[in-house]
Amino acid sequence: MCVVHTRIMNALELIVSSRTRAGVFTTLFCLGQRELHNREIARRVKHSEAAVRQELSKLADLDLVHVRRDGNRVYYSANRSHPLYHEIHSIVLKTTGLMEVSRLLSVCLKDSRESISGEKRVQSLS
């Protein structure tokens, strides 16, 4: 990671007071991500599932993230109707820069392709 990018991410961490929360914001608010499971968010932000779950719980209490349960799995997404959504989205875009946006976009595209190919496999088996 370049020095400038590290310095900018440190600024976001100071603003939100938590490196884990900064990572969650970047993951969920950067590109209006679809809903993600706690494990996937933890993998993307490179923090423990417990730390991510704790931050997600706080953000859910503030209604900044939506929570959806599917059996024993819990999925999270940014609450785009929250009054602070656009402000957080803007801060994340300004602090992460184009390098992070393009990285997240490539991850999203890869996930979409895998999802589509999985659906095609299921349809071909039917």
Read off the pLDDT of residues 17-58 as tens digits, 9 standing for 90 and up: 778 888 888 888 876 668 999 999 999 889 999 999 999 998
E strand or H helix that includes residue 36: strand 36-37
3-state DSSP of 69-122: EECCEEEEEECCCCCCHHHHHHHHHHHHHHHHHHHHHHHHHHHHHHHHHHHHHH
Cα angle value 112/21/104 (rounded, 5°): 25
| CA 52 to chain CA centroid, nearest Å | 10
pTM (two decimals)? 0.65
Q: Say which residue the tokens 């490539």 belong to.
A: 106
Read off the pLDDT of residues 59-85 as tens digits, 9 standing for 90 and up: 898 888 999 999 989 999 999 998 888
φ/ψ region of 16 (left if φ > 0, alpha if ψ in -120 to 50, else beta) reads alpha
Q: Please name each of the domains of the chain with its CATH number.
A: 3-97 (1.10.10.10)
